Structure 1
Amino acid sequence: MTPTGLFVPLITPFDASGGVATDALEALGHQVLDAGATGLVALGTTGEPAALTDTERRTVVDVAAAICRDRGAPLLVGAATAEALAALGDRPEVTAALTVVPPFVRPGEAGVVAHFRALAAGSPVPLIVYDVPQRTGQHLSAATLRELAAIPGVVGVKHAPGVVTADTVALLADPPRDFAILGGDDAFVAPVLALGAHGGVLASAHCATPDFVRLIGAWRDADPAVARQLGHRLSRLSAALFAGPNPTVLKGVLHAQGRIPTPDVRLPLLPAARPLVTAALAQLTA
């Protein structure tokens, strides 16, 4: 399976008691699929997985898997260790794991390739490399991404370098066969799609989901006039939604829309300042 289209990395909504609001999570999943998203992501960065207990993480995956099973939609799950990957083996709804480049240790590009080769060899599901150097501290060149693409069981990359880089251009100018390149920087996804990306993993698509679907489709169908118009507007929306640490502003917006019971996040995150939420809501109605 080569993942293409729009994947929405679900937030983890919390109720007034501080627990996972499973009804709201289920509703969000169905809403974005109803609006045209291809699939869902559970336990991505947007879902605050490090702040959840083991039981809560299982609950989040249970809810997302039930939605995708009901809808026949693909599910990606954040999993970065051999143990976490092994736990996905009895979940047929999971089409791939979203596996982050090892953070903090900065193993070098050869170390990253060896790490993914070892994980893929023992994983019951395919891997999508989560390339996000702003968080990991590890840059990956286009040459290294091609090495990763050649590993059996590695089927794509969530490419989130923070800007459109020379390596982005080099990779998309001659993309590896049967390897999905998914934009992962919401504000910059339009130019990445214009260069030939196969879709995106976009937290901003909790909001204005149909427009993000149209943006991906417009570049796929070679309709640049529509794509540019949508891209300009959605880039501004994404910038507003990421004006505070992810997913603080997004949760504030979803709460203001009545879609989740609280805007709460867990430490070390703090709720978004009200002006940031107001600015993002203004972009939604612009």
Structure 2
Amino acid sequence: MAKDYAEIKQKLRGSVCPVVTPFTSDHAIDFQAQSELIEFQLENGTHAISVTGTSGEPSSLTTEERVQVMENAMKTINGRVPFAPGTGSVNHDETMYLTKKAEEMGADAAMVIVPYYNKPNQHALYKHFKTVADAVDIPIIIYNIPGRTAQNMEVKTMARLAADCPNIVGAKESNKDFEHINRVMLNCGRDFLLYSGIELLCYPMLAIGGAGSISATANVEPKKVAEMHDAWAAGDVKKAQDLHFELMNLNDVLFKDTNPAPVKAALGMMGKIHPDLRLPMDLPSKELQDEIRRTLQDYKIEAVSYA
């Protein structure tokens, strides 16, 4: 039986945290730390959880490691909030495999990235996403991030997919072109779940009827990110605006190097994880680490000694 997509469209809103994948000092996945990060999110009001998206370093994980990270997150969440793992890849068969795994484990939705590096044309993008959507009965969120993938899913392609695939229910738009984002909403329908993946557009996305945000900053300051969405939902526009501007300095410093390097550095300073990435990714420069520490202190976030 097909899922009730109307129900998930009501549930999967607000701050969706794309939780990082923590590693031990020898670069193994630290599942205990991952569970503790998820608990930290839920204790601070985060509305939904994602893993193995950009912030989760999926290209540094094997396919089976991605499944393990998804399974551990699913077990930790235990139905308390919606779960929408990233299941996309540059490889079509791997995307199919991971999306089916997400469905099998009972995830609420799957986030599928526009394939990176190989730059498929718009017709190929349509075929890729339609084939994945037709193979599963799980809601699909398209992840459009042209700055990483070197290809933008055009509005007409996304609208065609939304019309032809009932389980393509929304998109994460990590797209600085806000005109494009407005046209996605117009052409895909006002009930299409549109999330901002650009931190400075998280509040503007709500103003045009967006579903919320999937913001890396929520890893570090989950309470304020969630409160911004709560304030908007409660009709407290001024509070939502105030939180939007209050978060700007933190947003800025966390994106002065490639995500998730600054976020992992910050979480290391907070004592949440061992702040390592797998090569070819690495931590930010000492100068940026110092700036991150100062910024955390400005936000009254305790920064412990940094290893």
Is TM > 0.5 for Structure 1 vs Structure 2? yes
What's the counterpart of residue 238 of structure 1? 251
Aligned residue in 1 for 2:21: 12
For normalisation by structure 2, the TM-score amounts to 0.86
Please point out which of 75, 82, 86 is paired with 1:78: 86
- Distance in 2 of aligned mates of 1:187 and 1:20: 31
Structure 1 runs, 4 residues or longer, greater than 4 Å off: none
Residue number in structure 2 paired with 1:158: 172
Q: Deviations over 1:15-34 (max 9, x none)?
A: 12221111111000011011
Decide which of 106, 130, 136 is 2:149's aligned counterpart.
136
Give the residue type in structure 2 aligned to 1:155. Answer: V
1:91 to 101, 105, 113: 105
Query: Superposed, which structure 2 residues align to 1:100-139 within 5 Å?
Result: 100-139=113-152
**Comparing 214-223 and 244-253, the one that deviates more:** 214-223
Q: Is the 8 A contact 1:188 1:235 kept in 2?
A: no
Structure 1 pair 276–188 and aligned structure 2 pair: CA distance change class (3 A): farther
Specify the alignment match of 2:71 in structure 1. 62
The count of corresponding residues between Structure 1 and Structure 2 is 282
Question: 2:295: which partner in 1?
Answer: 283
- Given that 1:28 and 1:259 are in contact with CA atoms closer than 8 Å, whether structure 2 keeps it comes out as yes
How big is each residue's C-alpha offset from its partner over 1:91-134, in whole Å with a ceiling of 9 and x where there is no partner? 02x11111011222322223322221111000242210001111
Query: Does the CA-based 8 Å contact 1:164-1:192 persist in structure 2?
Result: no
Change beyond 3 A, Cα 1:63–1:156: same
Q: 2:281 is matched by which residue type in structure 1?
A: L
Give the Cα separation in 2 of the matches to 1:141 and 1:126.
20
Shift of 1:264: 0.7
Deviation at 1:173, TM superposition (A): 5.2
Offset at residue 177 of structure 1 (A): 4.5
Check the 8 A contact 1:106/1:136 in 2, yes or no.
Answer: yes
SS of the residue corresponding to residue 31 of structure 1 reads helix
Deviates most, 36-45 or 107-116: 107-116
Contact 1:101 1:138 in 2 (8 A): yes
Find the aligned partners of 2:247 and 2:58 in 1 and give their Cα distance: 26
Question: What do the CA deviations read for 1:146-165 (whole angstroms, capped 9, x no partner)?
Answer: 2222222101100111x142
**Higher deviation after alignment, 173-182 or 148-157:** 173-182
Look up the equivalent residue of 1:77 and give its one-letter code: P
List per-residue Cα deviations over 1:181-226 (Å, max 9, x = no partner). 0111123322222332111111110122111111112233332321
Structure 2, unpaired ranges of 5+: 1-7, 89-94, 299-307
| Structure 1 match to 2:301 | none
Corresponding residue of 2:303: none
RMSD: 1.8
**Change over 3 Å in CA distance of 1:221–1:144 after alignment to 2:** farther
> Residues 141 and 237 from structure 1, CA distance in 2 versus in 1: closer, same or farther, beyond 3 angstroms?
same
Identity, % of aligned pairs?
Answer: 28
Q: CA deviation at 1:237?
A: 0.9
| Residue identity opposite 1:253 in structure 2 | A
Structure 1 Cα separation of the partners of residues 221 and 269 of structure 2: 15
SS at match of 1:178: coil
Correspondence for 1:213: 226
Cα 1:7/1:13, change in 2 over 3 Å: same
CA distance in 1, matches of 2:281, 2:132: 30
Structure 1 equivalent of residue 91 of structure 2:
none
Tell me if the contact between 1:164 and 1:188 (Cα under 8 Å) persists in the aligned partners.
Answer: no
CA contact (8 A) 1:173 1:195 kept: no
TM-score by length of 1: 0.92
Residue 175 of structure 1 deviates from its aligned partner by 5.8
SS at match of 1:98: strand
